[in-house]
Amino acid sequence: MNFVFIFICFNSILLCIECQEDPLHKSLDTVETQYLSFNMSQYGSDGGVFSSPNFPHNYPQDAIIFYQFAASTNYRVVIEIDFFEIRGVSPQCTHDYLDVFINLTDFNLVNDQLLHRFCGRNRPPLLISITNLLLLGFFTEDMQTERGFNGSFRFIPAQRYKENLIREPCDYIFDSSKSKRGELFSPTYPGTYPPWQFCNYSFVGQSNERVHIRFRDLMLFKTPSTQHCAIDLIRLYDNTLHPIELERFLSSFKQTNPVDGGLLSEQSDSQHITDLCGTYSMPLDVYSTKSSLLFYFITTHYAELTNEEQTQLNEASIPSLWRKGFYAEYEFLSTLTTLDFIAKNQTNQYLSGTECDQTIKSFGKGHGILQSPNWPHFYKPQTSCSTYLLGIDDRYGLENVEIEFEQFDIDCQLAIFVIYNASRIHDYNLQSRPSYSFINSTLISKEKSFNNYYQQEVDFKDNLTFCGHFKPEGRFVSQNSLLKLSFIPKTRQANNHFPSLVNGGKFQAKYRFIKSYHQLSKNKSQLIDTGDCSLFYYQSRASNGKFQPPRSSDEDYFSNANCTFHFQILNSNFRLLISYDYFNIADNDVIDCPSDNLTYTYRSHSLYKSYPYIYCGYRNYPPPYLTDHSIEQFRIHFRSNNDSETGLGFDGRYEFVNRTHPLFSSQCRTPFDPIIEINDKEQSSGNLSSNGYPENVICEWSYRTKVDYQFKLDLTVVDLEGSKTKDPPQGCQSSVLRIFSEERIDELCGQQETVSYIITKSNWFTVQFISFTRQTGELLKGFHLTWTIIRSKTTDLDYLDCQPKNETAFSIHRSLICDNYVHCQPYSNADELSTNCSQLLSTNSYLVSFPFLRQHYIFISIIILLIILTITVAILLIFFIIKTKNYLHQEKLRSSTKTYFTDIDNHNLDDLTDVNLMKQTITTV
């Protein structure tokens, strides 16, 4: 019984939920449905007002009311809601709500599409029907109510929506032969547009015409903080579909709902101009390159903003997002300039959709002539063009844009010329210089060209405006890598009509992209001698940064330059790390580098020393460098000779690091670890390895032994990225193995096929392994070396002469003899000769014959003592066990004897007599 009751309740709840979700499921038997009609024949075109029941008081409970608005044929319905307050929260609207239908063929709701459901304080926007019918459905439930709504309605002609319409609901063709100009708009503009719509607007002009569309109003839904148009959009193509293709296109759209991006596959990316959504500053202009243009208006679902997005819009004082659609004007013009003046190459590119805008990119060595369209004649009427000059702006360098006018003629009554993001540079010190030339750049001395830019305060402005019949004097230099030039007719600045410029203007200018200059002196008023410059980098000011050579406007870096970069290290708790992102210093001889080069010096223990390596050439990267604890100051010297051969220079990085830096890994020793002291009697040889080829680590091992001893290093494996021997050499950009010893520094990278040997001149050496991010995915091994303590030839019996007849040979400890590794190389293999092994076996102790025993006799002795101790303990334990057993046996015997005599006492007297007689007999015998 309980089960039946629960089942009935559950079904009742489900029925209530279904009724709540769909108003049409409300029982018409229990709730009376009202139909209110507002016909154009009754109210006229001016319409009237309507409201919820009892307005301005609360509307009733359990109400279903349909407001039916019907216009005459060729008219549409317009609804404006003035006040709106319905119980519920958008978009769920689970209590009371107002449903809006604007795309009706009749008032039967079975097959008609809902525009949207409104509740709360989310007032519906302006509503315009697609047909001559519009329906509002108002639904309430049996709970608390609110004030409701009121509004007005009217009827407007539909003729403006049918101009150039070839197929319902919104397929248009605009033909130049029928009309040169006109207007276009979304299907319900300025009312909110419906979801799931696809509208086509095709423009077909004459062969000598171009299409111009100017948007006067545009408001399409767009999710805030997104860059693409994911919900609704306008998509423009520089083309028109053939009617057969258009038919196929529309047919595929009607069969696919919702709209899918794949529907636009008929058009290629090269013809795609742009996508528009959201809101824009008006007016907004779009142009075709030739006589045709295709315009798609696409809407999908009726998306809602989240509460957080709506709050963001409110806080930013942005009006509520409204699906108003668009309104635009179009015209077919034969007077627009042709695009022949834009060179079709990698450097110059037309900006699709603009009237005649172009970009000019540097690609490293750009310069040329910039002319107005239709040069040498005036601009054609109504022409407005912009040019964007783009220099390099990446990790390898920065370029500024420089222009200088040669001719200029623009009537101030008709137009203006604007330069954006630039400042004018007057050549006060170069008034007598030769004519400006891009071909022979040596006409300007390099020193003066460089100095000129740093002798004056450069005041960059947002824009500079010019007009008149005289060219602007001086040079104009961009603030960064972008410079924009725009020719703007005065009538273009008005928003209420098309431009009507009759006579244009013209100009011609030279442009070039110049390398960014680097300041060499704090005092800009002093002349800078590029032959001698110094830059200082103090740890107290910046812990890291970049450094580059000075560069001129005519070449990459200065010829005859002599610049030094000084790095001051704060204390021994820090090291200086130097690396390079780019390196290109011109020189044919990359070994000796007699021309342009880069060198290092450093101060250690108050003495200046020179680093033995010199760097130059292309791709010959200097390896990363880390100073040791004794270096107080590090200097990098850049030199270039006076010839015309230069390069892009270098892009260096510096960083002052301490032991907490992430490059110092726990998997190996670091430069901040103490020196490893070695005793030749305990360990005469050992190994060092990178343990594979790790990335982004800095490892450093420092070894020291007794005075008058030396180390021999056998490099058995060197397998790193880079190369210092290939032609041309690659350098050691990402990894380096550096070995320091007295009066010697070895710098290694690349692949080494044979074993190499290093003999130190003192009793110490340091191995530094630096590995940054790998440049390739090669399977490389890293490095491995064996070190051996050696002495000069000696008569010490503990040492063996590696080659007695050779005065340059050395001696090794006898513990290394016959250990299956030749320590006497490169001079001999005496330590592994069988004669030495057998001789040492007969003449020396047992330990001498067995290398393992010789090297580990202390360990072996301890083991032997432990064994003896163990045996002694075992013997004592056995003795104790035996003694214990004997004791227990004796105790058992005593117990047995005692029991025996006790039994005798308990016998009768006769038995005792027998015993006494027996004793007497035994005594007699």
Nearest CA to 34 out of 60, 70, 55, 57 is that of 60
The contacts of residue 628 (CB under 8 Å, 6+ apart) are: 575, 604, 671, 740, 766
Contact 182/330 with Cβ under 8 angstroms? yes
For the full predicted model, state whether its pTM sits above 0.75.
no
**pLDDT for res 521:** 35
Question: Would you state the structure tokens that stand for residue 727, as one six-digit string?
Answer: 């032609």
Contact 561/446 with Cβ under 8 angstroms? no
**pLDDT for res 815:** 87
Question: Would you state the structure tokens that stand for residue 802, as one six-digit string?
Answer: 């590696």
Which domains are delineated in the chain? 33-158 (2.60.120.290), 163-244+271-303+322-333 (2.60.120.290), 339-433+455-492+503-515 (2.60.120.290), 532-658 (2.60.120.290), 676-792 (2.60.120.290)
User: Could you write out the three-class secondary structure of 14-46?
Assistant: HHHHHHHHCHHHCCCCCCCEEEEEEEHHHHCCC
Residue 491: DSSP 8-state = G
Scored b (16 or more CB within 10 A) or e, 812-831 reads: bbbbbbbbebbbbbeebebb
Cis before 224 (ω within 30): no
Over the chain (925 residues), the average pLDDT of each successive run of 10 is: 41 42 45 90 94 93 94 95 91 89 83 83 90 94 90 95 90 92 93 90 90 92 80 85 55 45 47 85 86 90 71 52 88 78 72 85 79 80 81 67 91 86 62 31 30 36 82 83 85 48 76 63 35 72 80 58 85 92 82 87 89 86 92 91 75 91 90 92 92 93 93 94 82 92 92 90 95 87 94 83 75 88 87 73 46 59 88 89 82 63 48 44 37
CA 438 vs CA 375, 443, 484, 505: distances in Å: 21, 9, 21, 25
Q: How far is 85 from 118, CA to CA, in rounded Å?
A: 10
**pLDDT for res 329:** 94
Contact 174/201 with Cβ under 8 angstroms? yes
Scored b (16 or more CB within 10 A) or e, 532-560 reads: ebebebebeeeeeeebbbbbbbbbbbbbe
Q: How far is 446 from 551, CA to CA, in rounded Å?
A: 9
How far, in whole angstroms, is CA 633 from its chain's centroid? 35
Question: Would you state the structure tokens that stand for residue 3, as one six-digit string?
Answer: 């089960």
**pLDDT for res 558:** 66
Cβ neighbours around 625 below 10 Å, total: 23
The strand pair at 756-759 and 710-719 is best described as antiparallel
Q: How far is 133 from 764, CA to CA, in rounded Å?
A: 98
Q: How far is 57 from 869, CA to CA, in rounded Å?
A: 107
